[in-house]
Structure 1
Amino acid sequence: MPQTSFKPLKMGVIGFGYVGRVFHLPYIEATEGLALHAICSSREDDVRNAYPDVKIFNTAEALCADDALKVIVIASPNETHRPFAEMALRAGKHVVIDKPFTTNLPDAEAVLQTAREAGKHVIVFQNRRWDSDFLAISDVVRSGVLGPIRHVESAFDVFEPAISDNWRFARGEGTGRWFDLAPHLVDQALLLFGAPERVTADIQCLRAEAGADDWFMVTLHYRQLNVVLRGSMLARFPAPRFVIHGTRGGAIKNGLDVQEAQLVRHISPSDDAFGVDPDLIRLRHEDGTMREMPARAAAIASFTPFSSKR
């Protein structure tokens, strides 16, 4: 049978900072059917050195006006997400917005309304739905081997005592650790357990002279289940990434997912080593039986089930 031919979707990216370079551009390059066409950045020399064959624009307006583009990725500072998204949608482009989608609910609703009026798709980029540890933990939770889940801790700790000049941690709208990290943790919890009945939150600045929050502990309260989301920038001894307690056993995963570190080292998502996490997930059953499993998707399929003993 003849093969179906199609033209790759030409992609444009607004922003060439850490998020654009590390999280978006490698996935565009590694994904069949996508073609990097243009980048908008004030750092023209850096873009040219890394991507000599792409078009470079100095303004978002100029990039959005390029008729060849079909999809625009917004990887710029958080407060620009709404205006750039609406600009791209009105220019007839589909839009991918890095988290957080916007810095407040009215802006999010306005972007969605603009997308409806333009007849275009707009989605938030939630790459940590595909973290190896989260995929494996999801398999464990959904398999039922731990019984009904009653308590979950999802922590993302780092040790960065020095105050950087990064815009993410300066005073401003949509800055701080909660806006920077929590969209991932909240998204993962909602995928596993749905919307909670109520939420309690403690969000603070613990480092002297910090411009925005650098520590949080937020609990999602469900019926017979609490999901605790934590993040600290002063964790010299990081907490486990995941701790799961069920009525028939528990699971623990130490260490952060490896994919971000691999992308920083220019390991492509298409590489066989990508996402292979050396930190195993440990499970303990009610009868004391211990098991270990790799942090990867569908690992539970090859996992020796616990005894059915109750």
Structure 2
Amino acid sequence: MDRIRTGLAAYGMSGRVFHAPFISVSPHFELTAITERSKELSRGKYPDACIVRSFDALIGLEGLDLVVINTPDGTHYEYARRALEAGKHVIVEKPFTTTVAEAEELVALAASRGLTLSVYQNRRWDGDFLTVSQILSEGLLGHLVEFESTFPRYRNFVRPDTWKETGKDGGGLTYNLGAHVIDQAVQLFGMPEAVFADIATLRKDGKVDDYFIIHLLRPSKAPEVRITLKSSYLMCANEPRFVLHGREGSYVKYGLDPQEAALTEGLLPGTPHWGEEDKSFWGLLHTERDGKVVREPYPSLPGDYAAFYDNIYQHIRCGKPLQSDAREVVGVIRLIEAAWESSRMQRVVRI
């Protein structure tokens, strides 16, 4: 079947690292156009891609099937709306939008036009998250009672040269990494009944939030599980990425999925051992089997961000179910809004 002709709305870090490599190596996609307002940084790597100078020029290209909205957070709604109105399928980088109202409007617009609208929740395909999902599905910890997900970062200074730090066009940790850890928790346990959160700016001269701790209360699939989600830019000593406690055992995992680091170094998806984690980073499983105590590393599954784009192709060309459907990601934005309200009001907020 015809390859999906794809355009990138920007060629910053997201475009270079998380989108262009997967589009370019897939036999199902063609990297047709890249938006660069003044530079031509993409020319060396993707000489066959057309460089356009504006978003209007991108969505005006005849024959373009799919547009990736990987621009600053505050532009997601407007650019996604305009791309849908131009008749293009759309992938939006996380966070989907900054408000639930914007998200619902885009979902309705895509449905009315019969177009695909997906959100790039790529960390559903992190190896550590896939491993956690496997451990839970196999019941290795018994009845789960506690789930902690922490995304550690360390940058104890504020960068004035990026919109992510100035707050002028979105940014902030809760909409950034919060969109990932919340989405992962919802994938495992469903939407919660309520949220309790503390969101703060802890770095000197900071203009956006750089710390959050969010509790999701009584999730629909497992109301008794206590869920804690956390991230901060002041974690010089890493905390575990995942901590799971059940009535028959625990699982503790340090370290981050290796795909982002590999992509940043210029490695391409599909290279040998892609997404595989060094054994030294495998999480520790502490449980009982056949009456004997087991305390040993549990093999991490390989991560696979390419699965996101494979699913996009299967959905658009073959009608298969869309795995990161914007309709369900509206719930993530709803939870982020609730977390901010909870932090401001210092109380539990019902969903």
Per the normalisation by structure 2, the TM-score is 0.81
Equivalent of 1:51 in 46, 51, 73: 46
| 2-structure distance, mates of 1:288, 1:233 | 37
Q: 1:205 aligns with which of 189, 193, 201?
A: 201
Count of aligned positions: 293
Q: Is the 8 A contact 1:267 1:274 kept in 2?
A: no
Match of residue 151 from structure 2: 156
Alpha-carbon separation, structure 1, partners of 2:252 and 2:140: 14
Equivalent position of 1:180 in the other structure: 176
Q: Could you tell me the TM-score, scaled by structure 1's length?
A: 0.91
Give 1:9-48 correspondences, 5 Å limit: 9-48=4-43
> Which residue does 2:294 correspond to in 1?
289
Q: 2:48 & 2:117 partners in 1: Cα distance?
A: 27
Q: Deviations over 1:157-204 (max 9, x none)?
A: 111011112211212353101111111101110111111121111010
Deviation at 1:31, TM superposition (A): 2.1
- Can you list the C-alpha shifts for 1:252-302, whole angstroms capped at 9, x where unaligned? 11111111001101111211222111111210015532132221159xxxx
Matched position secondary structure for 2:27: coil
- The alpha carbon displacement at 1:50 in A equals 3.0
CA distance in 1, matches of 2:261, 2:107: 33
Of 50-59 and 177-186, deviating more is 50-59
Encode CA deviations 1:59-84: one digit per residue, 9 max, x unaligned: 11111011121011110001111111
Q: Does 1:218 align with 2:220?
A: no
CA contact (8 A) 2:35 2:55 kept: yes
| 8 Å Cα contact 1:169-1:177 kept in structure 2 | no
| Structure 1 residue 139: Cα displacement | 0.2
Matches within 5 A, 1:114-125: 114-125=109-120
The alignment partner of 2:40 has SS state of: helix
Contact 1:44 1:56 in 2 (8 A): no
Alignment of 1:1-310 (within 5 A): 6-164=1-159, 165-172=161-168, 174-222=170-218, 223-278=223-278, 279-286=281-288, 288-296=293-301
User: RMSD value over aligned CA atoms?
Assistant: 1.4
- The separation in 1 between residues aligned to 2:235 and 2:23, in whole angstroms, is 33
Contact 1:151–1:244 (Cα < 8 Å) also in 2: yes
Pick 1 or 2: higher relative contact order, CA cutoff 8 A, min separation 6. 2
1:132-165 Cα distance to aligned partner (Å, 9 max, x none): 1110111001110101111111001111011112
Instruction: Supply the distance in 2 between the matched residues of 1:22 and 1:86 (Cα, whole angstroms).
Output: 24
Q: What secondary structure, in the 3-state scheme, does the structure 1 residue paired with 2:82 have?
A: helix
- SS of structure 2 residue aligned to 1:156: strand
What code does the residue aligned with 2:150 have? A
Percentage of matched positions with identical amino acids: 36
- Alpha-carbon offset, residue 9 of structure 1: 0.8
Amino acid at match of 2:293: G
* Distance in 1 (alpha carbons) for counterparts of 2:44 and 2:169: 32
TM-aligned CA deviation for residue 217 of structure 1 = 0.3
* Alignment partner, residue 3 of structure 1: none
- The answer to whether the 8 A contact 2:283-2:300 is kept is yes
One-letter amino acid matched to 1:135: L
Select between 181-190 and 269-278 the one with higher mean Cα deviation: 269-278
Stretches of structure 1 that go unaligned for 5 or more consecutive residues are 1-5, 299-310
Q: 3-state DSSP class of the match of 1:224?
A: coil
Alpha-carbon separation, structure 1, partners of 2:38 and 2:282 = 40
User: Matches of 2:61 and 2:177 in 1, distance apart?
Assistant: 32
Secondary structure of 1:277's counterpart equals coil
Alignment check: 8 A CA contact 2:254 2:283 kept: yes
CA distance in 2, matches of 1:32, 1:151: 42
The offset of 1:205, in angstroms, is: 0.2
| Cα distance in 2, alignment partners of residues 31 and 216 from structure 1 | 37
SS in 2 for 1:45: coil
What runs of 5+ residues in structure 2 fail to find an aligned partner?
304-351
